[in-house]
Amino acid sequence: MRSAYLGTSEFAATVLRRLADSPHRPDLVVTPPDRPRGRGRRLCPTAAAEAATELSIPVHKTPDLNSPDSVEAIRAVDPEAVSVCAFGQLIKEPLLSDWMMLNVHPSLIPRWRGAAPIERAIMAGDQSTGMTIMRVTAGLDSGPVALQEEIAISPEDDYSSLSSKLATLGGDLLVEALDRLERGELTFDEQDEAAATYAEKITPDERRLDPGRSAGELARVVRALTPHIGAYLELEGGERLGIRSARPIQAGPAAGALEATDGRLLLGCGEGALWLETVQPPGGKPMSATDFLRGHAPPTRAV
């Protein structure tokens, strides 16, 4: 089956590698242009472009998928299907009508439609999530569903571990969907609109840990934003202390107070306390709280 693949992120690159190792190896990968990255702001290709180059798959880079040259690039490979995974651009006509477009989405649609489904599932305390293969339509993740598979969210899962498991599952599920499509056996079911929830993009304010909230809530925020975005405490004086791993405990200091005891750093919360296990000082690298306390004066309060 001739196909094209639209993707950007490392998640999309993982799915692409699985697809390339199947009978449905894409004939073209479409991805955004190179972007500045790192402290040197050097132009670098997207993770999907890097994977495509490694796999010797032709790449078309575009800031606008719907531009005539991008539509023509897809048309030139005459795909029977177009797969979409973490692409990040709005898809319009004639693309929606001209090809069967299958979206690989990391949630149990209709729960967590939108930009940050993995983060929102962890932050909400969901016990499970999963992968959905659905048809792309003009609405936001509102197309009919072809395949779904559920997996548990471990209490230890952060964004990195959960997205890795979901990307592996997503690749397998996409291959199965294309197998069925090739046999003429792929069917779709409309979503229950009444059950839809939305995974809004993470805002800068959501990175700041508010000690007035419960320790359980804050621990989930840390897990959801590690390692790609990062949560932090704002200390008295305006300094930020990054928090890379933490766990809730039942008791500790008063809300907002930080207590260093026996190499442990505890944050008092509105309910319970947060044991800060891995922290990142300004301009530094992540380190255990024990190592941090050896070289830094213990902070006393979070705003």
* pLDDT tens-digit series, residues 262-284: 889 999 999 999 999 999 999 89
pLDDT at 263: 85
Question: How far is C-alpha 66 from the geometric centre of its chain's CA atoms?
Answer: 24
pLDDT at site 15? 98
Could you give the angle at which helices 159-183 and 215-225 cross, rounded to 10 degrees?
60
pLDDT the model gives residue 119:
98
pLDDT of residue 39: 75
Closest CA to 287 of 263, 303, 257, 267: 263
- For residue 24, the model assigns a pLDDT of 96
Q: What is the pLDDT of residues 174-193, one digit of tens each?
A: 999 999 999 999 999 999 99
Q: In terms of CATH architecture, what is 205-295?
A: Roll (3.10)
pLDDT at res. 134? 98
| Alpha-helical regions (H) of the chain | 10-20, 47-54, 68-76, 95-98, 117-123, 159-183, 215-225, 289-295
**Phi and psi (nearest 5°) for 207?**
-75, -25
Contact by Cβ (8 Å): 82, 74? yes
Domain residue limits, the chain: 3-199, 205-295
CATH of domain 3-199: 3.40.50.170
* Per-residue pLDDT band at 91 (split at 50, 70, 90): very high
- One fold for both 3-199 and 205-295? no
Task: Inform me whether the pLDDT recorded for 41 exceeds 90.
Answer: no
Residue 171's pLDDT is: 98
Q: Are 231 and 242 in contact (CB under 8 A)?
A: yes
Residue among 112, 102, 190, 194 nearest 150 (CA): 112
Residue 159 has pLDDT above 90, yes or no: yes
Share of the chain above pLDDT 90, in %: 92
- Report how far apart the first and last C-alpha atoms of the chain are (Å, whole number): 57
